Amino acid sequence: MRMLPDEWEPIYKEILDDFGYDRSSDENSARMLKAVMMNSCLISEDEVAIKRNVTVFGNSNDLEVDIGAAAPKGTLIASGSSVGRMMDLGITPDIIVTDLDGDIDPQIKASRNGAVTFIHAHGDNSELVQRYAHEFIGPVILTTQSKPDNIICNFGGFTDGDRAVCIARHFGAKEILLLGFDFDTPSDKDGSDPKTKARKLQWAKRIIFEHNEPGVSITVPS
């Protein structure tokens, strides 16, 4: 079930107001991402296949515990730094959703092994876009949280985790299992302010659950 741009726009405006972000910075980063990836293996939406059942992997401290409690199923969508932890357990993602921060090398490796990567541009990651985006040589879709065009898409979502859920819903997932999601306890990340991270997690929770689509079931390990 697709979140249309008109449905995402008021959520995006709230996020900009809450964090004091500048929309033009998001759009400048998106333009940079398009320029960097001009000669890359960009694919269209029609080339993305997602099953009815999807597992989305977050990067909370409980990821490995969650994987042990509930077997991943369907299309496997990894957000950001969860990729390396999954691969350490012998789990290969089908899709990666990343804004290029955190543990980047496993994400690049998974891309080179054929994973479809949704690379996201926002105002805080323009330097990472310049440094890493071109390293993703597998199939890629470019995303923004601002205005989309014929090259860069907007499927909704703010953090890698909730954006992965939005992508799953967009491409027709009906049953989504969340592993490694903790909306109350931010995971440690160098250079990240815990208070800001906590606020981002609350936004992720809202986007996943309060803005869920009819007919889509979202579950977490019990």
Phi and psi, residue 198, nearest 5°:
-65, -40
Percentage helix, strand, coil, to 5, in the chain?
40, 15, 40
pLDDT in tens, the chain (222 residues): 467 778 899 999 999 999 999 999 999 999 999 999 998 999 999 999 999 999 999 999 999 999 999 999 999 999 999 999 999 999 999 999 999 999 999 999 999 999 999 999 999 999 999 999 999 999 999 999 999 999 999 999 999 999 999 999 999 999 999 999 999 988 766 556 889 999 999 999 999 999 998 999 999 997
Does residue 170 contact residue 154 with C-beta atoms inside 8 Å? no
Element (H, E) at 148: none
Domain coordinates in residue numbering, the chain? 5-219
Q: Are 99 and 80 in contact (CB under 8 A)?
A: yes
Contact in structure between 187 and 60 (CB atoms under 8 Å): yes
